[in-house]
A and B are shown apart, each in its own frame.
Chain A
Amino acid sequence: NAGVMQNPRHLVRRRGQEARLRCSPMKGHSHVYWYRQLPEEGLKFMVYLQKENIIDESGMPKERFSAEFPKEGPSILRIQQVVRGDSAAYFCASSPSGQRTYEQYFGPGTRLTVT
């Protein structure tokens, strides 16, 4: 049973470019969470999605960031017009249920570097 997959593992973008981060949840999981870890900081919640629905995006920056989880395919976190401050590790996690008492299964993360 493959775990949570994220790709790419490392992504380098120049300022102003777009970054697309992909997350394939564990088989049978329909709930996906995205987290960001800035340097010297802990994991910070960004957005919670179910298939075709954004449930909670209270942690997403208001501009340039968007997320989707289509009926088919991986969840995508999209960052438009990246800036240096977007450099961070982005993790996704999945769970079989939306109940927050379920443990979340994390992917290996995508390390975004903006030059």
Chain B
Amino acid sequence: ILNVEQSPQSLHVQEGDSTNFTCSFPSSNFYALHWYRWETAKSPEALFVMTLNGDEKKKGRISATLNTKEGYSYLYIKGSQPEDSATYLCAFLGGSQGNLIFGKGTKLSVKP
């Protein structure tokens, strides 16, 4: 059974703090890693799709890195804002014909 683990489960930070969380996934048969942002009462929204070892992607204050050899990805948020409060999901894809295996997410709360 393929497992995708995210840590921490939840995180509370103050506005302005920078933060990061981890997604761990199987290091064998890697094909892609997806990151999604999921605000309460809304739909999950794609942030990044990462495919190459060492890849680093950035969107505004949010960035992500990927290490496929050791099976982890970090998501960083610089200068957190209250509107960053959401659950951040990662999803592992093993093989081009595989299906996304989601972690349970990291729930981020940013206090003003």
Contacts and interface: CB of A to CB of B under 8 A. Distances in A.
A48 B99 CA distance: 9
Given A42-B89, A42-B105, A101-B31, A107 B43 contact: yes
A59 B45 CA distance: 22
Contacts of A99: 96
5 tightest A-B CB contacts, nearest first: A103-B46, A106-B43, A45-B99, A43-B102, A42-B104
Interface in B1-41: 4, 31-32, 34, 36, 41
A12 to B, nearest CB: 19
A52 interface: no
Interface residues of B, number: 26
Contacts of A14: none
Which of the four size classes fits the interface of chain A? 20 to 34
B43 A100 contact: no
B96 A41 contact: no
Contact of B99 (A58, A103, A106, A109): A58
A66 interface: no
Given A41-B104, A42-B105, A45-B101, A101 B44 contact: no
Contact of A56 (B4, B32, B99): B99
A91 B102 CA distance: 13
Given A42-B102, A44-B102, A100 B96 contact: yes
A103 to B, nearest CB: 4
Contacts of A93: 44
9 contacts: A3-B43, A42-B102, A42-B103, A45-B100, A45-B101, A56-B99, A101-B49, A102-B49, A105-B46
